[in-house]
Amino acid sequence: MDTARIARLLEPFVTPLSEAQLATISTYIDVLQRWNARINLTAVRQPEQIVTRHFGESLFAASRLLGIEAPSEPHVVDVGSGAGFPGLPIKIWAPQIHLTLIESNQKKATFLREVVRRLALTDVHVFAERAEDFPPASGDVVSLRAVERFDAALPAAARLVGPAGRLALLVGEGQVSAARELAPDLAWLDPVRIPQSANRVLLIGESR
């Protein structure tokens, strides 16, 4: 996909990206579409919708999570990574992070390893097991987006949040109250509406 078009589509979500970052996203889209023809990675098929709905949302979260006050080399743990969102776009936006992608589906984990290889990303670990099997309190930032069995996945993600860490949810507005009930030990900030979305929000919970 043309990098200039990608840049225009991402304008509502994030500050301008470098040409290298845009080229990486273009390659990612190509790999995703080829793999998506064989295994179900995303129901979003059109490249422009992939840019806005997957990359736009993920990069919007990255810009909010990894600001001036973030650790210089934070450990980001993406739970139920699937096709790599939001974890891999966060890595593209902030290459200094240590990234773990947790994905228990072996075919999806294989895709994640391949896209990491194709994009020449470093310091990315694919953990092809359940979040419950990952060391607790090990993430500076833990992300969760569009997973099945939300009621089980959210507590599993919350246990991975380390001291002074944050849990970032990309969810519908209707899930905000459930999130607060499922992880009451976190201090939840007000949800932030995602650009161009009718009801999607970024919800951040901080370690107390």
CATH number at residue 172: 3.40.50.150
Contacts of 92 (CB under 8 A, 6+ apart): 21, 24, 25, 28, 59, 119, 121
Other CB atoms within 10 A of residue 208 CB: 8
State which amino acid sits at residue 22: L
**Which pLDDT does position 70 carry in this prediction?**
60
Number of H helices, E strands in the chain: 8, 8
Instruction: Kindly report, residue by residue over 162-171, the tens digit of the pLDDT.
Output: 999 999 999 9
pLDDT digits over 98-154, tens only?
A: 999 999 999 999 999 999 999 999 999 999 999 999 999 999 999 999 777 999 999
User: 19-36 vs 106-118: helix axis angle to the nearest 10?
Assistant: 150
Which domain covers residue 33, as residue numbers? 3-207
The pLDDT score that the predictor gives to residue 136 is 98
Strand-pair category, 98-102 with 75-79? parallel
Region of poorest pLDDT, from 43-47, 56-60, 67-71, 126-130: 67-71
20: its two tokens: 């290298």
Whether residue 12 has a cis bond before it, omega within 30° of 0? no
Which residue is listed with tokens 């009718």?
198
Q: Give pLDDT, residue 72.
A: 78
Of 55-64, 68-77, 137-146, 181-190, the one with minimum mean pLDDT is 68-77
CB 170 within 8 A of CB 192: no
Give the count of domains, the chain. 1
